[in-house]
Structure 1
Amino acid sequence: MTSLTSHELRVLQLVALGYTHKEIAEQLVMTAKGVTPTVNRAMHKLGARNAPHAIHLAYQTGLLRRERHGDHAGYTSHLRRHETPCDDCARGELAYRAARRSDRRTNQEAAA
């Protein structure tokens, strides 16, 4: 299996997220007709029969990861990868911590 380029991987990730070829083209500043050959190259390199199979293989081999953003899980996944959390995840972590504090206060008041 030949490794995917960062461009092929990004296109495959957007396909996996459900974006249309037109939406992918707009996001990556390319033509919609240019998305199809990129997906086809990725499929060929992964040995996939179709795009859903390529996405499955990419997840199975770890090329793609299911990532969450904007919440506690997204924040901790950034930390596990030794990355600075994005703004959405940092805000999500603050909201998570505030909710946990509120829950603890409620439980302490109920116990008193």
Structure 2
Amino acid sequence: MTQGKGFGFGLGKMKEFADAIKKAQQVQEGAIQMQQELDSMEIVGEAAEGAVKVILSGNQEPRRVEIAPTALEKGAEELAALVLTALKSAYEQSTATMKQKMDDLTGGLGLPGV
């Protein structure tokens, strides 16, 4: 008597498939938690030794801008440059934080191309 081969999946392939589904679920659950963590974070970019601060969430959502009275005295052009410097700093920190959290989430899962 011959046994059918089914759809070409041996037991080993089915286990690999089940493991892949489990990993995908872990990533999805981790991604939801990561989004919540990033939303609750506040990342501060500064310029002029803290005279200008731009605060973003970990998801790069603008939260607020803080400008000390001493920075106001510098004039519009220099103040604009300070705000831009602080924004760039906050953005770079936020991007690095997001990347690190994503690496933490996917690093141990052995996902190809991630």
Structure with the larger RCO, 1 or 2 (CA within 8 Å, 6+ apart): 2
Q: Same fold per TM (> 0.5)?
A: no
Q: TM-score, normalised by structure 2?
A: 0.24
- Comparing both structures, which one devotes a greater share of its residues to strand? 2
The structure with the larger Rg is: 2
TM-score (norm 1): 0.24
Q: Give the structure with the higher percent helix.
A: 1
